[in-house]
Structure 1
Amino acid sequence: MPPSRILDSHIHLWPSTATQPTNHGWMAPGHHLAKRHGISDYRSVANVKRSSSKEEVEEENPIPVSFIYVETDRYLPSSTPEIEEERDSDEEKRRKLSKWASEPLSEVKFLRRIVEGKPEEGDGFAPSDAAWMKGAVLWAPFHLSPSLFSTYLQIAEEVAGPALWARVVGFRYLLQGKAEGEVKRLVESEDWLQNIVSLRDGRGGKGWAFDVGVDTHRDGVEQLEHVGGMIAEVRRREANSGGQGHVRFVLNHLCKHRLPLATPSDPTFVRWRSALTGLAADTSIYMKLSGALNEFDDASPTPDTVQSVIEAVQPFFDAVFANFPGRVMFGSDWPVCNVGGPHGEQGNWKFWVSVVEAWMEERGFEEGSMERVWWRAGSEAYGVEG
């Protein structure tokens, strides 16, 4: 059954003016993604007709699609700003923070132009495109002291303006690609924990979500296990504080396990599944069905048929739906899905939609369960209208 609508919970955008290594440290010259990716480009691929994977019956009106924007890991000149907290004035701290985080703040300015309908050359959107973006997950320096973290959020809010800030639904600080021992050090630090707990007070008491980006494929499953320990500590602090609400955690990309699975007894898979089981009882944790097209290893390129991909992701889908019932959401990871996707820039988004749709049909999902994946779970996790 085709979806009635889609809330794509994970896409990235950047203008043509942000395609250099000085904008994104990972965007080396000649990189596959080193070009503009705007809403107009997304709209050209996110155009799904009202047809079933079993019945090719098209109607004139495409399925409504909206999205959650997720930060793009903008360039930072150093891991921390050169601030002396005991000596620098508040004004000096703001100046140094703004200079150090100039690229993440440029990202905020780009998003502000979107919601205010004021495109500049190379932005890749029309003034009427703002409605496509239901929410934005921004970068924030969770590793800094609570004082500097709070100051950064104040700066970001000023740069964003009221229209964009009202659509900020969460924050992310990528934990993938860190040096050995760094993730454990980060998520167990007092500064990090205080900053995470503070998210529940955002959005006028509605709370901001925290998007979790770990890579068990390349960094090992222990990073996910460290995150599990961090969430447990956050819950302990929330309970002890007597406040209302919990920080919502949204796990990205199935936590990026390597595909395909050689055997169900694979030690990494067993630990990955066990780590998720340890989080299952927490109803404020969600999982994104996203990113899988980039996790096939070099020896097994991404298959180009829906059924072959379903066979590869089946044990992972089974695990996440068992552990997070009603809390699994669709995400495309566009345009990053084009790095490993087998159907080119015009076909990978629709291909992943077809994979998710066909898998749910094979599993006999009822309409209500499908709708939760397509848009309701994402709407709930981020506190937006689907």
Structure 2
Amino acid sequence: MSERHHAAGSYAKVSSETPPAHTPPTAAEQAAQPPTSLPDAKPGRSRILAFAVLCVLCLALAIGSITWAAMRGRAATTSSQPVTVASNASAPVVAPTDQPFVLFQHVARDQHYAKIAFAPIGTPNESRTVTGLTCERVYFAAGQGLCLLTEGGLINQYFAYTFGPDFRPRHKIAMAGLPSRARISSDGRYGTATVFVHGHSYADGNLSTQTILIDMATGATLGELEQFTVERDGADIKAVDFNFWGVTFAHDSNRYYATLATGGQTYLVEGDVAARTMRVRRENVECPSLSPDNKRIAFKKRMPGRNVTWRVHVLDLETMQETPVNEARSVDDQVEWLDDQTILYAVDADVWSVPADGSGAPTKFVAQALSPAIVR
């Protein structure tokens, strides 16, 4: 792992603005702009410079379009089950208050691609309501939402947005890289966002992450996990290659679990928000997710072998015994709990469910969906 590429201790900028709609300038608008050359430059150089700028803009837009098309194509080819959209994304939408629901990123290849949607827990595949909010990673709890998004242009910018039951952004928080993980405490007090500062997946040997703690009411950044004190076997430890991700909160919001990576190994850490401390609990645990009863943690465990694969396991926090769930595919996701007996996770472009005790078989829970959050 590499040394951090962002300054430890630097806080993200916060504002209360709605995500700007990015409309690229047309060729006519570019041509109408005044020359960008120096006053004594020759007219030919001015035209050449303007043409070069236009070419760069076109290339950037083309790359962005190709990337977006590839994402849509992947979602379409990995899940063929049709879905029914019950509400137009342009209409006002409010999160339900009278029934539990599952919130997720809609990835069907249609005009609503990457919009946030929700559906009743009991019938998640019958019909879904699509909102006007676009996110790459999302979470929702106690009326508070957290949306991670890349805003394209000549230079990509990365942000976390807080939002409410109306799915309207409230606060905008600048992030240092590609969106990866988002979580909110069950009371809606705290949120966490993880991005890739360097690298683009958890299999990357040169990985560097940023994980921040957010006050969901104000949008203020309360710090980065890298700034917290870590203890192992009674002694404080610190290394330049520390990386944190996959935060999950206990009922009291103050206690949490997360992944620490250092020295080529991953560890489960248990943390205290108020004390700004963590202690190492176990090796080879990634993306922990605490069960609703706070007794078990579902996590992805890296398996031995030449190729990078993960299998979902469930750890009993009292006995520290772990049980593999009955899912043979590699799962690179932070698991969500449907209830105390069942977990949810994304594979390709679908959300699947499986019993947490190692029995049963995987069942498709929501088709053409990613980043599930159960709202009880």
TM-score (normalised: structure 1): 0.30
Name which one, 1 or 2, has greater alpha-carbon Rg: 2
- Structure with greater helix share of residues: 1
- Structure with greater strand share of residues: 2
Give the structure, 1 or 2, with the largest relative contact order (CA under 8 Å, sep 6 or more).
Answer: 1
TM-score (normalised: structure 2): 0.31
